[in-house]
Amino acid sequence: MTETGTYSIDRDNSRLELKQRLLSFAREIGFDSCRIAACGSAPHVDEFRNWLDEGGHGEMSYMERGEEKRCDPQKVLPGARSIVVLALNYFQGDPKAGDTPAATGKIARCPG
């Protein structure tokens, strides 16, 4: 069959259905967010490389070691078309007590 007519619509519908099932499953198993991105070169490669050159990564030497992979995911998974990104909020404070991330740290917080 060609890329026209019913075949194209069925394929688009099955992709949308697969995406919805993945998003639903991610929520079901406890992830706070799930996104799907095209697998291509990062849009801010130059800024990332400048940041590395300026030492913005501090003691996180793994950022430099993986520079090429971070700039082009095809170097990790050649032929990949999509990237699934999952997020989990690890903050365990008590919002009722006013213990919020903004009140205790901008990026991360270590246990007392």
Spatial contact of 67 and 49, defined as CB atoms under 8 Å apart: yes
* Strands (DSSP E) found in 1-111: 33-38, 82-87
More confident residue, 1 or 62: 62
Q: Residue ranges of the domains in the chain?
A: 6-35, 39-84
Q: How much is the pLDDT for 1? A: 43
Number of other CB atoms surrounding residue 110 within 10 Å: 6
pLDDT tens digits for range 41-99? 888 999 999 999 999 999 998 999 889 988 999 999 999 999 999 999 877 666 666 65
Kindly report the pTM of this predicted structure: 0.60
| CA dist list (Å): 7 to 12, 19, 20, 52, 76 | 9, 18, 20, 46, 32
